[in-house]
Structure 1
Amino acid sequence: MVWPTILLLLVVMPLGAQAAPGGSVFEQVAVKDNAVIWPLDALLEHIARQLADGRDGMRTVLIPVGRSLQRHAAGDAHYFDSPRAVIAITGEPVSATAPLLKDRLYLGHHAVAGVLEVISYHEGSGRFEFFIVDDYRAGGTPHLRAGNRGMCLACHQNDAPIFSRPNWDETSANPIIARLLASTGKNYDHLPWRHGVDVPLAIDESTERANLLPVAQRLWAACGDTACRRQLLWRTLKSRLTGLPETAPLTEDPALASLTDTWQRQWPGGFVIPEPDIPNRQPFAATLPWQSVPTDAATLRQLADVAERFDALALRPPRDRWLLDDRQTPARVFHALGQFFSNTDINALTDALAADDRTVTAAALDCRFAQRGARRNVDCRLGETLHLQGREQGDRLIVDRLVIDGRSRPGLVMRATQQGFVAAGATPRLSDGRAIRALRLDPSPPVLALADDLTRLSAAVAAMPLPDKTPLQRRTVLSALFAGLDAEGPAPVEAFAPLATADRGERARDPALAPFYRHCALCHSSTDAFPPGFLRGDDDTVHQRLTDCAPRMLRRLSMWEHPAGSREKTPMPPPASAQASDIQRGDDLTTMRAWLAGRLATRGQRVDTFAHTAYADLPPCAIYPESAHVR
């Protein structure tokens, strides 16, 4: 169903307590007058106003037959009528005072389920938070609540967003998927879903960067004193401002002694980098782009079934391990920490530093000129430090080649001012950190204006308190830095006020149900339709629901008998969840399977009745709350 686009209204969201300005980035930009903005198009337009490139700072794909919990919400015959939309914010903020949404806000919307799933970074907690907006539909009353974090982390094992590897064949970038979506004639909330692989590639790259935020916070927390954190911050900012990787070994930096001590003690085998990618999955692997595709309900039900090797619930090995003495580790560490500051932030810092010209000195250049009609070619050197080649055209100097200390830098455009040619955008710097403020070619001799302005920034960092047990917070850092540079910055981070997690129901009185609550309640005792809440209700209700779900539950529990990689399905409880930690060490697994088999016997069924039935064709374990709107 496509909701009328004329209903551009704001639906009141009961928050319990009003979302504080110190909330997650979603709460900062999506809640207005204590309401979540609805419909989705209005919400995205509101978010776009915070981005320098507006809607071009968002990337959207449609995934009709994917791996989300919501994929079954529309029913087996309607995957392409009601696909799930995934939206990643990839654009720079409009200013250093605006919230940084890039790589920090991800939305998953399923219109029929009426659910908006949110992954949103929270500076106060120093982590990504998982939210659900229920009843996000026309005529509904959207309600924002904290997601079940334990359940979310069963898939999001990296504490951050995940996405598939190339070629992203589940998405609307797949020509077969795009053709089937187009055949429905739906507009899908007017989302820009017709695109190539460049869009899922951008989302994949965004989740890769987002994966570094929890990594950086762990490193930040490993610093045991303020001096260590100040040095981490200083080297991070210097790397961002100069555009050069930090290569000095961590072990040779005395200020980082507490970090290296922690590293050697806690991670002797290497600092673990989690894996944000899940395998690429091809729902129509046997179909060529020009061939007809069967879209009957039975076929789509089979296609929507996710084998273990593609399941996000399957345990993923680490992506990497950073060794303390590896020569690449310093660059990796400070690159990860550098993700906390946007290009907009760095440019604003550069402008604030440029406001003070007391550190500017002049350096004579050795230049050669060649006139080519209206164009003058320029070739300038500053000893062995700098080599610049470009062409002067009117009021612009186009630098095609810039080499600083033997390292090639990106080309740039410089514009004529009274001081000489000045770089448009990011200010290039020498390896020692001095900024190239201006290049004066005339009158002779040519001169390069250099500013030793990082001394001011170093002093501002040295004056920052950076208390222990506080996460690295972009807004707090920028607030202090800009104050130290007599410039306007964002307000510091306010207190962290988390939303309450939804009630997951009472525990059973029947002792026979205790193992199920012990190992399944984290995910299956809520009022959500997905995953099914078969442990919600009184004992009689739970008995009935477990009996209905027994064929699928028995298949999932039996997967623990097989080694990872050779299973039909991912076992339950999910291997990454806390509730799976001891399931194979005690008697609970045997007890649960025997109890479920007994329940089937009350219906005259045996376990082996379903032994050769494909998992997708087993009786469904579907328990919908009364408020659910499912086809």
Structure 2
Amino acid sequence: MRTLSLIVLALLLAAAGAWWIVGGQGDTSDASVTARAAEVAAQADTLSARAIPNDDLPPAGTRSLFDHLVAQNDGLPYPFEDLVAMIQRQAPEGSAPVQFAIPLGRSLLKAQADFHQPRVLYAADFHGPNTPASLGVAARGRLFLGFVENAREIEVISYNELAGRYEFQLVQDYAADGQRRIVYARRAVCTTCHQGATPIFPQRPWNETNAQPEIGTRIAAARGGEAYLGVPPQVPLAMPERFDELTDVGAFTVALQRLWIDGCDNDAMCRRTMLRLGLRYASDPGAFNVDADEVGRLRALQAAHWPADGIAIPESDIRNRDPLAAGRGWRARLRVLFEAAPDPTAGARDNEDLETFDRLPKLPADLDPLTPRPPKRRLAADTLDGVYGIAALFTADDLRALDAASGYDAARLDAAVAALPDAMFDAAPVSRVRLLQALFAQIGVPVPDYCCLAASAMSAPVALTAPPLELSANSPLQPYAEYCFGCHRGNPAARLDFMSGEDEAAVAANIRGKPEIRDALDWARYENTAQASKLMPPPDSAEYARLRAAVERDPALLERMREQVPGLFDF
């Protein structure tokens, strides 16, 4: 009897130990990205929700900052270091990129990253300079990239200036031999983690990043001390700290739209007053009097329209997680008795592979980005955050230009705000560009253009759900797919998007309608001449190197490609 009791006690202790070792780290999440996406797809029926829809594609006439930058560059640079360099060229001289690595993270593509090829994150932290002819790029806190090379996919979050929202995009098949494609992701899926439709990031001390010495040491060991995609194995803690601050900027940018729209309802005077006070605060924060009569009038106007439950600031912070904690100490050695070894191929291969992601082991609920988070805070009607948010819309160059245009006369700028048409204060997204252009016009000085190509000159945005082009066996367009589609199919600049089309016949027709292609592929005639610049692909591209190698194996390849385009005397 005593022996049986000891056996039962041992089994109970083993079971308790197993729970403690495996499951005793907190309640395990049961969240499914598929189920959560169905929940968040239903949007609240508020004035701001109607003004800023939650559709996957951007509203007509608007595009993401990422699309604008790619269009200005004439295409999507490759490799990733060149993409970052292209963005950084918009920054004032000396502005360093904010970038670092996460080998063991919580993203949808987490299973495809490791110490040898970690996920690389980048955030823009600059405002491009204005010129008399154009407004600079306001990129600070408005552009974020996450690249997982094994998945051949870049996740992009960037602000849509005219739509007042962040866009969620993917660069698919981003590889030297890939047919790189920019698509708009499914917002309902993205916002399961990016709750509030904002960028998110963990709280300090950011143990998942290579700012932590142990993570950096393991990356260095896996890579022989070499940098990866321009990121050294170890970065200073200031890198993730600044990234965290920039995601907070993003969360407040989203909240500003609700303050502007829902906080004033359909009252144009409320918004006009918010703008006037915002410009005053931006011009001289130290002299701003929160007890001034006009501040009191704004508070009274807000009180008349404020939502009953306040206005929420989205929570862009998720809890810090130490991905190496589970491997330390005697409990970790015991845990191997209860857990199967991880399978590095078992995770989601890309952002469409949701079922595979849902089968991965779950995180503790308090560490799982899928777990619903309460707002960071709720703002009441007496807040002046709308004023401060309006001030933050404008760059230092913007404010200097407004001061100069108004003759450094605050009363003249106030008068310009008062004279703006009521339509500028409709219940619609507030836009830095729209406001600046309207104010310059009202003051009576030349109105600068936006920094970038107008949406009307851009190709149609592509949804993730749009099927990729399927070519028939032995299609004569196959070489175009390998060497040309990366730049000329899905290019945000319409003038360069001449290989798009829903099916093979449409693409072939578009290629036949572009006779310049014959000259661009006439290497024999133009190489080493003054006309060499017209040859394609560009000599510094990955496509050129691959096509050059293919031509050495098959000298007739270029001529077969040229045959798809009518010549001058073809009848």
| Deviations 1:462-518 (CA, angstroms, capped at 9, x unpaired) | 22231413211111111122334454554269669873433289xxxxxxxxxxxxx
RMSD: 3.5
Aligned to 1:359: none
Q: How many residues align?
A: 378
Residue of structure 1 aligned with 2:198, choices 160, 168, 175: 160
Q: Which residue number in structure 2 is paired with residue 408 of structure 1?
A: none
* Larger RCO of the pair (alpha carbons < 8 Å, separation 6+): 2
Alignment of 1:470-619 (within 5 A): 470-491=428-449, 499-503=461-465
Correspondence 1:236 to 2:243: no
CA contact (8 A) 1:162 1:278 kept: yes
With normalisation by structure 1, the TM-score equals: 0.54
| Mapping of residues 193-212 of structure 1, within 5 Å | 194-212=234-252
Whether contact under 8 Å (2:274, 2:386) holds in the other structure is no
Q: Kindly report which structure 2 residues correspond to 1:199-348, keeping only aligned pairs within 5 A, or say none.
A: 199-222=239-262, 223=264, 224-244=266-286, 247-248=290-291, 253-254=296-297, 258-263=301-306, 266-267=307-308, 269-285=309-325, 298=341, 306-325=363-382, 329-330=383-384, 332-348=385-401
Compute the displacement of 1:42 (Å). 1.5
Which residue does the alignment assign to 2:412? 456
Alpha-carbon offset, residue 25 of structure 1: 0.8
Do 1:93 and 1:101's aligned partners in 2 also have CA atoms closer than 8 Å? yes
Letter of the 1:338 partner, please give it: A
Superposed counterparts of 1:25-44, under 5 Å: 25-32=65-72, 35-44=75-84
Structure with a larger share of its residues in helix: 2
Closer/same/farther in 2, CA of residues 106 and 455 from structure 1, 3 Å limit: same
Q: Report the residue type matching 1:164 in the other structure.
A: P
Does the C-alpha gap of structure 1 residues 246 and 270 become closer, same or farther in structure 2, counting only changes over 3 Å? Answer: farther
Q: Per-residue deviation at 1:92?
A: 2.4
* Other structure's SS at 1:36 match: coil
Deviations 1:333-352 (A, max 9, x none): 32223221123322333344
332-341 or 141-150, which moves further after superposition?
A: 332-341
> Alpha carbons of 1:177 and 1:148: their partners in 2 closer, same or farther (altered >3 Å)?
same
Match of 2:161 in 1: 123
Q: Which is further off, 198-207 or 341-350?
A: 341-350
Contact 2:148 2:154 in 1 (8 A): yes
Which position in structure 2 is the counterpart of 1:145? 183
Tell me which residue corresponds to 1:349: 402
Letter of the 1:129 counterpart: E
Structure number with greater Rg is 1
**Cα distance in structure 2, aligned partners of 1:23 and 1:464:** 25
Gap runs ≥5 in structure 1:
1-16, 357-450, 506-631
CA distance in 2, matches of 1:118, 1:475: 22
1:546-581 Cα distance to aligned partner (Å, 9 max, x none): xxxxxxxxxxxxxxxxxxxxxxxxxxxxxxxxxxxx
Q: Aligned AA for 1:259?
A: Q
Residues 272, 425 of structure 2: 8 Å contact kept: no
Partner of 1:91: 126
What do residues 528-562 of structure 1 show as CA deviations (whole Å, max 9, x unaligned)? xxxxxxxxxxxxxxxxxxxxxxxxxxxxxxxxxxx
For 1:158 and 1:299, locate their aligned partners in 2 and report how far apart those are by CA, in whole Å: 32
Equivalent in the alignment of 1:432: none
Q: Whole-Å Cα distance in 2 between the matches of residues 347 and 193 of structure 1? A: 40
Deviation at 1:21, TM superposition (A): 8.8
CA contact (8 A) 2:144 2:157 kept: yes
1:82–1:246: structure 2 CA closer, same or farther, 3 Å change rule?
farther
Identity of aligned residues (%): 32
Aligned residue number for residue 615 of structure 1? none
Flag structure 2 segments of 5+ consecutive residues without an equivalent.
1-56, 347-359, 468-571
- Greater strand share, structure number: 1
Tell me, in whole angstroms, the C-alpha distance in 2 between the residues paired with 1:320 and 1:340: 21
Give the superposition deviation at 1:54. Answer: 5.0
Question: Any idea what SS the aligned residue of 2:325 has?
Answer: coil
Relative to structure 1, the CA distance from residue 25 to residue 504 in structure 2 (aligned partners, 3 Å threshold; closer, same or farther) is: closer
Which residue of 163, 176, 196 corresponds with 2:214?
Answer: 176
